[in-house]
Amino acid sequence: MAARVSGGDLRVLEEEGKDATMEDIREKGRPSNAPGSWVRKVVGCNEGGMHVPEEVVVEKFVESRLRLEFPNGEDGEPVITIGEEVLTAMNGLWKRCMIIRVLGRNVPILSLSRKLKELWKPKGSMFVMDLPIHFFMVRFELEEE
């Protein structure tokens, strides 16, 4: 296979010189409509495999359980009341997460990730994400970890 640029398009060519289609270069033996395993992990998630709140909780569900009031008139501070069901659903996003900080040292994220995997030996995947002020979020694939 070779790459060809024509009019700003980058295309993959097969040996015969024709453009390869997605079906030509997909994994052999996998049905054409089956998404790749990495696609299933990424769809509806952001960095570190964290679910996107908009994908988990439907907007109409939140709107029906949200109350916005202005007790001191429209120029005053608003009071926002969020229903218990919404909070429970949003808390479910954080069940497999832990916020940590290494005291007394400034540790690079790769070193920390490697050391935590070595110490904790998780059965599933473990993602470490850098947060501000030397904090890190550790997210586990399995809830029991």
Q: How far apart are CA 16 and CA 47, in angstroms?
A: 40
20 falls in which pLDDT band (50, 70, 90)? Answer: very low
Residue that is last in its domain, among 53, 75, 95: 95
The pLDDT of residue 142 is: 78
Q: What is the pLDDT of residue 85?
A: 84
DSSP secondary structure of 34-46: SPPHHHHHHTTB-
In this prediction, residue 21 carries a pLDDT of 45
- Residue 145: inside a domain, yes or no? yes
Same domain, 86 and 121: no
pTM of this prediction exceeds 0.75: no
The SS3 of residue 89 is helix
Instruction: For residues 112 and 91, state if they share a domain.
Output: no
Domain final residue pick, 55, 70, 95: 95
Nearest to 69 by CA among 55, 80, 83, 59: 80
**φ and ψ of 77, to 5 deg:** -75, 140
Distance CA 123, CA 145 (A): 8
pLDDT digits (tens, 9 = 90+) for 32-83: 555 555 555 555 555 555 566 656 677 788 888 889 999 998 888 999 898 8
